[in-house]
């Protein structure tokens, strides 16, 4: 059995840890509110912009298809891995890394490692993949230091320009989608080339939408497609940011509860040890008294 001093030291240590996890939970909750507001605001805008873009694209002839929809034989793929800069968020980062590795090992298992490039947004993903034998782009690993549309735009333009210049034949993005505080869903989405809508869906939407184009639908689509892609990219980063704070809040809440349970056990152990020590002293005193009497 541990000594009273050891148990008392553990109680002080766990109590300090509990105070830290409580504070981290409160900080994560405050950040989550702001992040949640941002993602709630951008979702309708991104969805509406995407709908308009799809409706406009339906009216274009095959000969005027946008270059971002060009399908090529996949020889070189760019995988955008969105993680956080800090840990203590449960399985938030490990789930994204696992999703990216599954994508590489399953969907692109026929490609050599030289044919896979990783664009890591977030320090945790960069730290993991920089130790592997992949080409890792480090320019955007600090994007979450000051997350805004301008920082996201630069990261999106890198992927878009790489696709346009045929440096990458496909661009995938792996991130955590924010569902609620306790639930984050790992998404693996094809960013480029832009997937075309199914014919059935096209006929329905095209029948319900009638646009007047000025100056021309080709020019409008040429402007809207890059903007829509950048908005979708930014939305993915905001989803990941909100998911991070939700995951950290949940993890810190569980850590606080675990510390509470551990404190109960340690205090019980402390009291038992103290009682045993007192009982032992009393027995020694009684034994000594009887020995003197005899």
- CATH number of the domain to which 75 belongs: 3.40.1380.10
Distance CA 168, CA 188 (A): 17
Q: Number of folded domains in the chain?
A: 1
The verdict on residue 46 lying in a domain is: yes
- The 10s digit of each residue's pLDDT in 43-57 is 899 888 888 777 776
Is residue 35 very low, low, confident or very high in pLDDT (cuts 50, 70, 90)?
very high
Is residue 60 very low, low, confident or very high in pLDDT (cuts 50, 70, 90)?
low
The verdict on residue 7 lying in a domain is: no
* pLDDT at residue number 208: 55
What are residue 93's phi and psi, to 5 degrees? Answer: -75, -40
Q: Is the pLDDT assigned to residue 7 strictly greater than 80?
A: yes
Q: How far is CA 106 from CA 95, 111, 159, 196, in A?
A: 16, 10, 22, 23
Average pLDDT value over all residues in the chain: 87
The verdict on residue 84 lying in a domain is: yes
Count other Cβ atoms within 10 Å, centred on residue 82: 29
The verdict on residue 2 lying in a domain is: no
Q: Is the pLDDT assigned to residue 13 strictly greater than 70?
A: yes
Nearest to 274 by CA among 84, 94, 5: 5
The verdict on residue 182 lying in a domain is: yes
The verdict on residue 118 lying in a domain is: yes
- The 10s digit of each residue's pLDDT in 127-154 is 999 998 889 998 898 999 999 999 999 9
* pLDDT at residue number 207: 46
- The 10s digit of each residue's pLDDT in 87-114 is 999 999 999 999 999 999 999 999 998 9
- Residue span of the structural domain in which 129 resides: 25-197+205-251
Question: What's the angle, vertex CA 244, arms to CA 242 and CA 246, rounded to 5?
Answer: 70
Nearest to 256 by CA among 93, 19, 6, 8: 19
Sheet of 116-121, strands arranged across: 135-137, 116-121, 77-82, 170-180, 183-192
The verdict on residue 87 lying in a domain is: yes
Q: What is the pTM of this model?
A: 0.85
């Amino acid at each position: 059995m541990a000594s009273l001093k050891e148990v008392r030291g553990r109680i002080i240590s766990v109590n300090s840890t509990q105070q830290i996890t409580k504070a981290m939970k409160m900080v994560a909750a405050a950040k989550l509110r702001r992040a949640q507001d941002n993602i709630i605001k951008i979702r309708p805008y991104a969805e509406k912009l995407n709908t308009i873009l799809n409706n406009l694209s339906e009216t274009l002839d095959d000969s005027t298809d946008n270059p971002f929809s060009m399908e090529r034989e996949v020889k070189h793929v760019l995988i955008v891995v969105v993680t956080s800069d800090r840990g203590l968020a449960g399985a938030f980062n490990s789930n994204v890394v696992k999703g990216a590795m599954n994508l590489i090992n399953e969907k692109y298992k026929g490609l050599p490692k030289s044919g896979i490039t990783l664009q890591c947004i977030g320090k945790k993903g960069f730290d993991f993949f920089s130790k592997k034998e992949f080409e890792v782009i480090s320019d955007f690993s600090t994007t979450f230091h000051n997350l805004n549309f301008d920082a996201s735009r630069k990261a999106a333009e890198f992927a878009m320009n790489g696709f346009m210049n045929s440096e990458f034949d496909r661009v995938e993005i792996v991130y955590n989608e924010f569902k609620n505080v306790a639930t984050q869903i790992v998404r693996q989405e094809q960013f480029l080339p832009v997937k075309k809508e199914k014919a059935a869906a096209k006929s329905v939407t095209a029948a319900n939408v009638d646009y007047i184009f000025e100056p021309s639908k080709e020019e409008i689509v040429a402007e809207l497609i890059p903007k829509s892609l950048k908005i979708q990219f930014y939305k993915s980063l905001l989803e990941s940011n909100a998911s991070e704070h939700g995951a950290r809040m949940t993890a810190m809440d569980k850590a606080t509860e675990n510390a509470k349970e551990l404190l109960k056990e340690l205090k019980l152990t402390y009291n038992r040890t103290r009682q045993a020590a007192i009982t032992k002293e009393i027995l020694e005193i009684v034994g000594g008294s009887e020995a003197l009497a005899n």
